[in-house]
Amino acid sequence: MSESSIGIDETYYPPFPWCLANIYDLPKTKNVIAKGYTDTGSDVTIATMDIDERLELHRQPVTLAEIMGIGGKPEVRALYAAVFIVKGIEVVTAVDIRDDVEEVLIGRDILHHLSLSIDWKKGTIDLKDPMIRGQRNTKVKLKGK
């Protein structure tokens, strides 16, 4: 992936790190490349309705989970199989498909397979495959830092 496969979105406050993800349905017959915001606070990756419409992820529910936002009421929801490829790492995971989010949120279910470094002071983000030695890291800097 190129330099533009990762970044920090300054339209959010505080700025929100993101990376491109190649998202597939489970049989890997369809895919979408989407910007996924790295959400270390989430146990689960969240997909949008638009992603579901394009990949038909709803065809393959794989588990039921008690989903809870901080301070919210728990809700039992089906999670659906999806394949994410981020920085060359393929992760099969179970995503929550939500109609109340507009962006893909990449949770710790995927992030824990990667090496992620964010230096908020320097405004840099670094995401790589931890198993590949000498891999060229992709770093971006926030404007003005």
Site string for another protein, 97-136 (x = CB under 8 A): ----x---x-x-----------------------------
Parallel/antiparallel/unpaired status of strands 46-48 and 89-98: parallel
Give the residue with the Cβ less far from another protein, 71 or 144.
Answer: 71
DSSP code, position 49? H
Give the residue with the Cβ less far from another protein, 94 or 138.
Answer: 94
Among 72, 73, 121, 144, binds another protein (CB under 8 A): 72
Smallest gap from residue 42 Cβ to another protein (A)? 4
Among 78, 118, 140, 142, binds another protein (CB under 8 A): 78
| Alpha-carbon gap, residue 34 to 51, rounded angstroms | 9
| Alpha-carbon gap, residue 4 to 2, rounded angstroms | 5
Identify the sign of the CA torsion 83, 84, 90, 93.
negative
Among 42, 115, 124, 137, binds another protein (CB under 8 A): 42
Return the SS3 of 30: coil
